Amino acid sequence: MNADLANFIGKEAFYMILKDQLGWFVSDEVKVIKDLVCIKPDFYETPFVLATSKKAIIGVEGYTEVVINGKKYTSVSKAIAEKGPSILESFSDWEWLVEKEWVIRKTKDNTWVTSCTILSDFPYRKQVKC
């Protein structure tokens, strides 16, 4: 498990990008494993909220199907609970069948604005027209 910027990122870099550069208010409950923030939405249970602004939220939606060491899982958290954190050592070999997304919705009426799966696709907070 390495900081690959698509699935895991260092804590300082994560907060610098999402909070300082993009302007979002970040949840205190982001998942941190071995000093890396999990930024792949599949590490979170629906309806986790990653970040907010006055007019929008970034939350996880969808469902997961992943094959790890020949066994299909519908939750990364359950796979880790069942096999222990050492299961992450084979992360690069996991076969993703269905993946969750980060979804941005308006806070006033829950209307969908956009979605993405990687941090580099997150919009600046002020770009979200709500």
Supply φ then ψ for residue 61, to 5 degrees: -140, 155
Question: What are 55's two structure tokens?
Answer: 């007019």
**pTM score, two decimals?**
0.92
pLDDT at 130 over 80: no
Give dist(CA 117, CA 100) in Å, integer: 8
pLDDT in tens, 57-76: 999 999 999 999 999 999 99
List all residues 6 or more positions away from 30 whose beta carbon is below 8 Å from its beta carbon. 14, 37, 38, 50
pLDDT in tens, 4-59: 988 999 999 999 999 999 999 999 999 999 899 999 999 999 999 999 999 999 99
Give dist(CA 10, CA 3) in Å, integer: 6
Give the pLDDT confidence score for residue 126 in this predicted structure.
85
